[in-house]
Amino acid sequence: MRPRSAAGGDYGAFAPLVFELGATGDEVAATILRDAAARVDAMLGRLAALGAARIALMGGLARPYGPWLESGSRRLLVEPVGDALDGAVLMARAEVPS
């Protein structure tokens, strides 16, 4: 992979390795994960400030981020009751406020 021709998915392919190394104490991986988790914490905090009492993270990295998030963020998290397609169908039927 060449950096100038790499797509987002190319970098994303390294995520499982970064989480694995972070769990073993690798400082470079841990630094990457702490920085990324701080951004997720900020997003969750903003959603909470706007009134969200429960938030479901989705996608392949949702679970691995858990241990890296602040306890206040983890308290907001709930398991998703469906997937992205389920949400899209609900929105299309106007059953979910936009």
* CA–CA gap between residue 24 and residue 81 (Å, rounded): 32
pTM: 0.79
pLDDT top residue among 47 and 86: 47
Q: What is the phi/psi pair of residue 55, to 5°?
A: -135, 130
**28, amino acid identity:** V
The closest of 60, 56, 59, 61 to 74, measured between CA atoms, is 56
Residue 4 has pLDDT above 80, yes or no: no
Tokens of 46: 């903003």
* CA–CA gap between residue 77 and residue 79 (Å, rounded): 7
* CA–CA gap between residue 44 and residue 69 (Å, rounded): 10
What are 44-60's pLDDT values in tens digits?
999 999 999 999 998 88
